[in-house]
Amino acid sequence: MFGIQGRLTLLFVVIVTLVLGISGTYAQHSLSQELEAGSQRLRQGVLARLQTSLPSALWDLDKAKVDNIVAAEMMPPELVSIRVYDTSVGLFSGRLRREDGTLVPIETDAAVGGTPVVADLAYRDSGGAGAALKPVIVGRVVVNFSRAQIEATLAAEVRRKVIEVLLLDLILVAALALSLRIVFHPLKRLRDGLVDLATRDSDEVEELPDNRRDELGEVIRGFNAIQRKVKSNIQRIREAEDEARQAALATTRALDELQRAQESLLQAERLASLGGLVAGVAHEINTPVGIALTSASVLMEATEKVHAAVAEGTVKKSDITRYLETAAESTRLIMNNAYRAAHLIHSFKQIAVDQVSEARRRFELRDYINEVVSSLQPKLKKTRITVSIACPPDLMLDSYPGALAQVLTNLTLNCVEHAFEPEQEGRITIGVARQGDWIEMQVSDNGKGIAPDMIDKVFDPFVTTRRGQGGTGLGLNIVFNLMAKQFGGTITVASVLGQGASFTLRMPCVTPVAPAAPE
């Protein structure tokens, strides 16, 4: 594709060629008309002279005079031949111009080139009496004119005009090349400088020489000023990038430290929850174990008395009957309280193992919720709050029971600590519904609800309404993180102040396998 310089040169060449072509065409047309007019005048003059001089010579049959007149008229090169015919004898005289320009007589009436023009020769005789007589046609003359001279002249003029146009075009191209070079050479250097500035490091691009004192010099000086400004901006950008990188590194380090601190706090919160569970279960187990121990002591004392009576031989039926009654009552108390202690220990053991190991397994949801609520009884029995569970049976999950226990524990204890005042009666409802491959669990209460300014911040870390009273603000944040990261589910909250709160959890029945973290 042509550049601007090539397009300008081509445009000027086309314009000059068109102007000269139009001018040459008009001049050629004018010259053709002039040549045609001259040829017409020549024909009219030759014919007029021949019609004047030939009739008398032809009347007198003076062949020598006719030949001289014809030879004299053959001087112009446009004439090819002149043939004079007598009315009685036919061809009387004639001359023919050969291709080499020589004149020869015409002996026969053969075909002759050129354009023939025929004119009659009329002779007027006075008759000697002074009265004019009617003209008498004594013969005719045939003059052949050639257009070769006209065509040669026109062809020469065309060649001259073509040469003139070509010379002017060459001169114009040379002049434009020299003149446009004055403009486009510095523009080319300016373009190269812009390309270097755009593609190379600004420190490697040198400024253009600005020693010109014309408009292009002003442009170059402006470019150099822009280049200096760009270098300054790039330097500031580099400094800002260095500062940003340093700030990013510091932010990354701070974020890592914050994440480690958060993980430590979360682990401490989970361990604290497990520790509270241990203390509560230990206290709860103390009662059935004490009763079983007391019943075993009573049974052992009665057994020793019966054994002594048997050894002394003084045993009575009433002693045996009383012993059997004591043994039956003690055995019943031992069995009931041992079963109760075993159930508490089993629930605590399963929950504790799940929370510590974080192992994934299949489990039945309703039974597991009951075990979690049973493990919370030491905490719940000190309040006037009841927990009801509405879950369909045989609902199996393939998930992380320890994490689910942590979620249920945190939500239930959050209701206990925040939804109700001490000694206030309340109800916590745990409802579960299956929706295809997902379950929806609602943990709701009829407590005092959540303030509108806190509803959007309940899952944020370190947000609590019991700061300074043992609240850490991490309980619901742990729940949110477990639902999002561990289960691949969601949790939302809805509350009306004074009418309680409801936490809605959605999670898949089969927890998706988390992708392996990159090293």
Answer yes or no: is 20 within a domain.
yes
At 463-478, the pLDDT tens digits run: 676 654 545 567 788 8
346 token code pair? 């089993």
Give the C-alpha distances (Å, rounded to integers) separating 203 from 197, 227, 501: 9, 10, 65
The secondary element (H helix, E strand) that includes residue 333 is: helix 317-357
Q: Is the dihedral of CA 348, 351, 353, 355 positive or negative?
A: negative
Q: Check which CATH number belongs to the domain holding 388 and give it.
A: 3.30.565.10
At 129-186, the pLDDT tens digits run: 445 567 888 888 899 888 888 888 888 888 888 898 888 888 888 887 777 777 777 7
27 neighbors 157 (Cβ within 8 angstroms): yes
Burial class for 180, CB neighbours closer than 10 Å (0-12, 13-18, 19+): middle
At 292-328, the pLDDT tens digits run: 788 788 788 888 887 887 888 777 777 788 888 888 8
Mean pLDDT value across residues 197-215: 66
Answer yes or no: is 249 within a domain.
no
pLDDT over 50 (residue 70): yes
Mean pLDDT value across residues 215-228: 74
DSSP string, 274-287: HHHHHHHHHHHHHH
Answer yes or no: is 212 within a domain.
no
Distance CA 270, CA 475 (A): 9
At 334-361, the pLDDT tens digits run: 887 776 677 666 655 555 554 545 678 8
Which of 138, 167, 196 is a domain's end point?
167
Residue span of the structural domain in which 486 resides = 363-514
At 387-411, the pLDDT tens digits run: 999 999 989 999 988 888 888 988 9
Answer yes or no: is 441 within a domain.
yes
Answer yes or no: is 435 within a domain.
yes
29 token code pair? 């047309």
Q: Check which CATH number belongs to the domain holding 141 and give it.
A: 3.30.450
pLDDT greater at residue 341 or residue 242 = 242
Distance CA 6, CA 441 (A): 79
User: Percent of the chain, pLDDT > 70?
Assistant: 82
Answer yes or no: is 493 within a domain.
yes
Of residues 132, 110, 112, the one with CA closest to residue 122: 132
Which of 105, 134, 167 is a domain's end point?
167
pLDDT over 70 (residue 380): yes
418 token code pair? 């925040």
Burial class for 112, CB neighbours closer than 10 Å (0-12, 13-18, 19+): middle
User: Percent of the chain, pLDDT > 90?
Assistant: 11
Which of 167, 194, 216 is a domain's end point?
167
Answer yes or no: is 276 within a domain.
no
pLDDT given at position 267: 63
Answer yes or no: is 67 within a domain.
yes
Average pLDDT, the chain: 80
Distance CA 451, CA 457 (A): 10
pLDDT over 50 (residue 516): no
The number of domains in the chain is: 2
pLDDT greater at residue 88 or residue 480 = 480
pLDDT given at position 518: 40
Cα atoms found within 13 Å of the Cα of residue 464, Cβ hemisphere only? 18
Q: What are phi and psi of 367, to 5 degrees?
A: -60, -40
